[in-house]
Chain A
Amino acid sequence: MSYKIYQVNEALREFVPREVIDLEERATWGNPKRGVMDLPYAKELIEEHSLCAGCPESMAFRYILASLPNPEDTIIVNSTGCTSLVFPHIALHTVHSLFGNQNAVASGIKRVLEWRFPEKVKDVVVLAGDGAIVDIGLDCTLHSFFRQEKITTICFDNEVYANTGGQESGSTVKGHVFKMAPKGKQYEKVPMWQLAIDAGCHYVARLTVSSPKRVEQVVKKAIYVAREVGPTYIHLYTPCILEIGLNSDDGLEEARARDKERFAFFEYATPEAQEVINRKKEEGLL
């Protein structure tokens, strides 16, 4: 469709909350060059957020939503966890169905939308935590990659089950002590970005949210490649400051510290993906 679906019915305008009218009037629609630089000026597609104060995941949400090149035709599929508390606050079409089935649901949506609207570009993006993507939903995640589904998967890795109170996850670093790992985790952090490459993703990136501009670039590349080539995967460090004992203003420093070690920026693209990225750069879209 177009951003017209966000236009307020004139007869109802006086009853509609201000934030909905702002969405129509001040959000960036129909402009693929939108990005994080719009954040101070435009209405964001996320209305506040329901996460803890200073949660780096909220930064990730804001940067990603500001960077979607085609928000008016973007479907976001999420899963259970802290992220699922945020989805009702997002202005776009979002789906929550079960814990761990996000890439399966996204596959179905993408295939049917391609079939129903062959002439239109409809982006399908999965946003989910490490528990959903790496543990309980790993089979759905990897099989969507094997099947070459044209979707973008973004993992918010906080290295722990945060929403349930801080239990070890597959993404936890070996030796870290969490609930259900009272002696410390006994095995290595699952290298999901590497699994994504092996499973057939055409563009893979691993990074923290310390640089908004970098998040924007990565998100745009991943979505453009997914549209034309096949699955893409972004692994984002979004630490749970509560569970690792930090204050609400420590999130950014924590991200910067990890930039220098296990979340050092890493990017991978297949030749087909690189061709898309180069073309989009020439078009001024990256």
Chain B
Amino acid sequence: MAQVSTEKVIYNRAGQRVVSPDYLLFEAPRTKHFMTGSEVVKEAVKRSSVDASVSYPITPQSEAAHLIGELWVEGYVGVYFRGESEFGVMSELAGCAMAGARCITTTSGPGTLRAMENFPMWAGTRIPIQLVLMARGINSPLSIQPDNLEVSFLLDTGCMIWYAENAQDLFDMIIAGFVVAEKPEVHVPLITVVDGFFVSHTREAVMLPPDDIALPPYDPYKAPMPVIDAEVPPGRFLRDPFVMKSNYISYATHASWQFEVRAAIERSRPYARHYLRGLIEEFGDPEAEIVFVACGTAAAQSKEAVRLLEDEGIKAKVVKLKTIRPFPVEELINATKNAKTIFVPEFNVVGWLEREVRRYLYKRSDADIIGTPRVAGGMTMPPEVIVKEVLKILGKEVKHVI
């Protein structure tokens, strides 16, 4: 985490001055801009010395992918093209990463599932690709609206999963994401989730560092696996012959390899804590007995609900989860110590975050855990709806009827 020496100025291929991740994220002066989530993806990629990106159209992530293409034209990204499908794109990007490139791509909803077979392969191959997932839900019936059901399918792929609340989060997370994912002892893919439309298409104020500075370029020779470039002794991505044989060494190798991928995610915790300024963010009355555990837009709306509840004389707080994999277990236990009731508001019908919260708080919290409110298919989650649910469950008079 040492800052790049100021005596010797280093430039990346795009001619930007290379600075340390800490300088770029925490120290560089920032100016205020008014941008959509898609536009901040471009701004983050522009400052991340990205080598390769492959794209495919799907609403609502397409604009972010177009803008990365513009960066390629401008010389900020080395390799860029449109692939044949999300399955093809994620495989093309795997090839790019194996050959030693820092890679990013974007997808949404059904595209995520079309690409699905690739994500455990990325993790098992130990390539630190970053996927910005602009969540939209999945078919059928067809919908292009905000919904984050696809995230539940990604939880056990062996990829890290971070969840950005707004455009500012997304900008900082993309940059921090490369830094954490590329640590040699981590070196697994990262899926940075953001809610489609609510963030991708909404313009808001963001603070950005100058664009003539950028992250240090990716050094593939620090990877835990040999890069496939014929510059180092061969690495075999099928690994060793015994992996493909039917014997106990083969079984044990396969099992331990998968454990190691999960262990690598665990090893990301200290880095993520540093670069994300904590795996969770708390908002509201620290001692409150009513706690919202949420991520993304649901966290933003819960913050508004906390303000409304305050007007009712009810103390509440929000625990916003910035990382889902690794799951911020200790942080959540500490933050819910006083909780009597934990609400998990979500933008999907299955309540995957509620399941996660229950799993990790099992026997570690006496609070009631309630998966509500839950909206899906493009519905919004007005803070009044959250407040109404809380008042109803607390047996109080519901004044806020929408």
Q: Which residues of A contact B (CB under 8 A)?
A: 1, 5-6, 50, 72-75, 77-78, 84-85, 87-98, 101, 104-113, 115-117, 122, 139-140, 143, 147
CB neighbours (8 Å) of B231 from chain A are 1, 5, 117
Q: Evaluate contact between B51 and A140: CB separation under 8 angstroms.
A: no
Q: Evaluate contact between A94 and B244: CB separation under 8 angstroms.
A: no
B308 contacts the other chain (CB 8 A): no
Known: A6-B233, A116-B101, A139-B85. A101 touches B238 (CB 8 A): no
Besides the known contacts A98-B91, A105-B95, A111-B95, 16 further A-B residue pairs in the complex with CB atoms under 8 A apart? A5-B233, A5-B234, A72-B230, A75-B230, A78-B238, A85-B244, A88-B238, A95-B95, A104-B83, A104-B84, A108-B95, A108-B99, A117-B229, A122-B229, A143-B84, A147-B81
Which A-B residue pairs are the 6 nearest by beta carbons?
A108-B95, A104-B91, A101-B91, A112-B99, A143-B84, A105-B95
Q: Evaluate contact between A73 and B84: CB separation under 8 angstroms.
A: no
Known: A95-B228, A112-B96. A101 touches B78 (CB 8 A): no
Closest B residue, CB atoms, query A73: B230
CB neighbours (8 Å) of B91 from chain A are 97-98, 101, 104-105, 108, 140
Bound Cα distance A235, B230 (Å): 26
Q: Evaluate contact between A89 and B96: CB separation under 8 angstroms.
A: no
Q: Evaluate contact between B117 and A106: CB separation under 8 angstroms.
A: no
**B97 to A: closest C-beta gap in Å:** 8
Q: Which of A92, A93, A107 has the most CB of B within 10 A?
A: A93
Bound Cα distance A173, B138 (Å): 39
Q: Evaluate contact between A96 and B79: CB separation under 8 angstroms.
A: no
B251 contacts the other chain (CB 8 A): no
Main DSSP-derived SS at the A contact region: helix
Q: Which residue of the partner chain, among B79, B232, B238, contacts A94 with CB atoms under 8 Å?
A: B238
Bound Cα distance A5, B117 (Å): 33
CB neighbours (8 Å) of A116 from chain B are 51, 78, 99-101, 229
Closest A residue, CB atoms, query B127: A97
Q: Evaluate contact between A92 and B52: CB separation under 8 angstroms.
A: no
B236 contacts the other chain (CB 8 A): yes
Bound Cα distance A40, B271 (Å): 54
Closest A residue, CB atoms, query B120: A98
Bound Cα distance A88, B237 (Å): 9
B332 contacts the other chain (CB 8 A): no
Q: Evaluate contact between A111 and B96: CB separation under 8 angstroms.
A: yes
Q: Evaluate contact between A105 and B94: CB separation under 8 angstroms.
A: yes
CB neighbours (8 Å) of B93 from chain A are 108
B118 contacts the other chain (CB 8 A): yes
Bound Cα distance A105, B97 (Å): 10
Identify 16 residue pairs between A and B in the complex whose beta-carbon atoms are under 8 Å apart, listed by A's number: A1-B230, A73-B230, A74-B230, A96-B237, A96-B238, A97-B118, A101-B87, A104-B91, A104-B92, A104-B95, A105-B98, A108-B92, A108-B93, A109-B98, A109-B228, A117-B231
Bound Cα distance A143, B88 (Å): 9
**B57 to A: closest C-beta gap in Å:** 15
Interface size class of B (residues with CB under 8 A): 35 or more
Closest B residue, CB atoms, query A115: B78
Q: Which of B52, B231, B235, B240 has the most CB of A within 10 A?
A: B231
Bound Cα distance A5, B227 (Å): 13
B125 contacts the other chain (CB 8 A): yes
CB neighbours (8 Å) of A122 from chain B are 229-230
B395 contacts the other chain (CB 8 A): no
Bound Cα distance A96, B232 (Å): 18
Q: Which residue of the partner chain, among A88, A91, A106, contacts B239 with CB atoms under 8 Å?
A: A88
CB neighbours (8 Å) of A91 from chain B are 234
Q: Evaluate contact between B125 and A97: CB separation under 8 angstroms.
A: yes
Known: A72-B230, A112-B51. A106 touches B84 (CB 8 A): no
Q: Evaluate contact between A109 and B95: CB separation under 8 angstroms.
A: yes
Bound Cα distance A84, B84 (Å): 24
B288 contacts the other chain (CB 8 A): no
CB neighbours (8 Å) of A113 from chain B are 99, 229
Known: A84-B244, A101-B118, A147-B81. A108 touches B96 (CB 8 A): yes
**B90 to A: closest C-beta gap in Å:** 8
B71 contacts the other chain (CB 8 A): no
CB neighbours (8 Å) of B84 from chain A are 104, 139-140, 143
**A50 to B: closest C-beta gap in Å:** 7
CB neighbours (8 Å) of B226 from chain A are 93
**A255 to B: closest C-beta gap in Å:** 27
Q: Which residue of the partner chain, among B52, B118, B240, B241, contacts A50 with CB atoms under 8 Å?
A: B241
Tell me the B68-127 residues at the A interface (CB within 8 Å). Answer: 78-79, 81, 83-85, 87-89, 91-101, 117-118, 121, 125
Known: A109-B228, A143-B88. A92 touches B51 (CB 8 A): no
B215 contacts the other chain (CB 8 A): no
Bound Cα distance A5, B235 (Å): 12
Q: Evaluate contact between B238 and A107: CB separation under 8 angstroms.
A: no
Bound Cα distance A101, B117 (Å): 10
B54 contacts the other chain (CB 8 A): yes
Closest B residue, CB atoms, query A101: B91
Known: A101-B88, A101-B91. A108 touches B52 (CB 8 A): yes
CB neighbours (8 Å) of A1 from chain B are 230-232
**A34 to B: closest C-beta gap in Å:** 16
CB neighbours (8 Å) of A5 from chain B are 230-234
Bound Cα distance A113, B101 (Å): 9
